[in-house]
Amino acid sequence: MTSSSAPANTHPYESLTPDVVLDALATLDLHGDGRLTALNSYENRVYQVFLDQPAAHASVVVKFYRPERWTTAEILEEHAFALELAAADVPAVPPIEVHGRTLHHHDGFAFSVSPYRGGRSPELDDFEVLEWVGRFLARIHTIGAARPFVARPALDLQSFGIASRDWLLGHDKVPLDVQRAWETACNAALDRIAATALSPTATDTQLRKLRLHGDVHPGNILWTPTDRPHGGPHFVDLDDARSGFAVQDLWMLLSGDRAQRTGQLSGLLDGYEQFRSFDRRELALIEPLRTLRLIHYSAWLARRWEDPIFPINFPWFGTSDYWKGQIQMLEDQCESMDEEPLYA
């Protein structure tokens, strides 16, 4: 999907000017007052737009999906999941239905509109906050377990690990002076992951996959003071929603040394298990999932390099020093995967 007004030799997003953003909203009878702020997003283009007419929302968030990343069916499945969560009073932020639709098109772009929600990152060193977040994650997973995704893919060894490695090597993205060392370290890590439930060929596990948020890091949780209406956490950005194991939505909230991560995990699970049981066998997947994300992240950066925003914001990517750092991290991850998993 390419913007009709973009020259053939430019990236589609280069044609996404403020006028195009406002014109897209106007097709839905939502008219901006001229104030438009780009929000932090590299994968898509996301803007807060203030409206000039009395409406239910003083401002909205408009997300322009990266062309050719998701199919229409995959985007609509994300929207349906967000609407399911909102209908169950889970504080996710769903798209607004306008003219009977949640997905719209303008000038070659697919876009959606959501209500604006303010907030800050949660204080994840606060046990009460962790418990609160855990309760809502359990509620997300209860809805997620009710039915499977049909169109959206799974988070597994093949899609995040093997496909990423093969693309990087097949497109000569790893410099020759470090390519063999990186490939060796990557293969050693992937071999360890292949022995877990993340392997598509795993047959000896009873762990259950479900629909996930998929990208629960502190930046995707907006915390508002608890003395305000609807205070507490709001989950945003289901753009990476996939099928997978419940622990995927927990492990990115853990940081620090082993003792700190164990304490944070205990807080999350104390809240989680007030609403839903958690299979402790999934804790063995934390380091394999972290490793898959590491490999996938390098491929994500390389695949997006033609987007002008990436060289500007990630100038260190692609150098031999970058890949040497990746080699060290993969070797460290192999050691971490050989250790006993966290337990709480």
pLDDT of the residue at 121? 87
The 10s digit of each residue's pLDDT in 300-336 is: 999 999 999 999 999 999 999 999 999 999 999 999 9
The tokens for 273 are 């298990």
Average pLDDT over residues 204-230: 86
Average pLDDT over residues 92-115: 95
Average pLDDT over residues 61-68: 96
pLDDT of the residue at 6? 45
pLDDT of the residue at 55? 59
| Alpha-carbon dihedral 203, 208, 213, 218, rounded to 10 degrees | -90
pLDDT of the residue at 224? 85
Average pLDDT over residues 170-175: 97
Residue whose C-alpha is closest to residue 121's, from 3, 229, 217, 197: 217
Average pLDDT over residues 132-139: 95
Partner residues linked to 28 by β-bridges? none
Q: How many CB atoms within 10 Å of residue 147?
A: 12
The C-alpha atoms of residue 257 and residue 4 are separated, in whole angstroms, by 50
Does 2 have pLDDT greater than 80? no
The C-alpha atoms of residue 94 and residue 340 are separated, in whole angstroms, by 39
pLDDT of the residue at 13? 93
57 or 281: which leads in pLDDT:
281
pLDDT of the residue at 25? 95
Average pLDDT over residues 153-178: 97
Mean of the per-residue pLDDT values of the chain = 92
The 10s digit of each residue's pLDDT in 239-278 is: 999 999 999 999 999 999 999 999 999 999 999 999 999 9
Average pLDDT over residues 213-226: 90
pLDDT cut 90: percent of the chain above it? 82
Q: Give the 3-state secondary structure of residue 33.
A: strand
The C-alpha atoms of residue 292 and residue 313 are separated, in whole angstroms, by 23
Q: Which of 215, 239, 249, 307 is catalytic?
A: 215
Strand ranges in the chain using DSSP code E only, listed in sequence order:
32-38, 45-51, 59-64, 104-106, 109-115, 210-211, 221-224, 232-235, 243-244
240 is catalytic: no
The answer to whether 127 touches 20, Cβ cutoff 8 Å, is no
pLDDT of the residue at 231? 74
Helix (H) and strand (E) counts for the chain?
10, 9
215 is catalytic: yes
Q: Which of 237, 239, 249, 307 is catalytic?
A: 237
Long-range contacts of 215-218 (CB under 8 A, 24+ apart): 215/239, 215/240, 215/252, 216/137, 216/248, 216/249, 216/250, 216/252, 216/253, 217/252, 217/253, 218/121, 218/122, 218/124, 218/253
**Strand-pair category, 243-244 with 210-211:** antiparallel
Average pLDDT over residues 173-201: 95
Give the pTM: 0.92
Q: How many CB atoms within 10 Å of residue 42?
A: 15
Measured CA angle at 68 (ends 67, 70), to 5 deg: 105
pLDDT of the residue at 225? 79
Q: Give the 3-state secondary structure of residue 149.
A: coil
pLDDT cut 70: percent of the chain above it? 95
Does 215 have pLDDT greater than 50? yes
pLDDT of the residue at 226? 76
In sequence order, what DSSP letters do the residues of 86-135 get, joined into one string?
Answer: HHTT--B-PPPPBTTBS-EEETTEEEEEEE----B---TT-HHHHHHHHH
Whose structure tokens read 């606060």? 126
The C-alpha atoms of residue 181 and residue 326 are separated, in whole angstroms, by 10
Angle between helix axes 72-87 and 127-144 (nearest 10 degrees) is: 120
Burial of 99 (0-12, 13-18, 19+ CB in 10 A): exposed
The separation between CA 104 and the C-alpha centre of its own chain, rounded to angstroms, equals 22
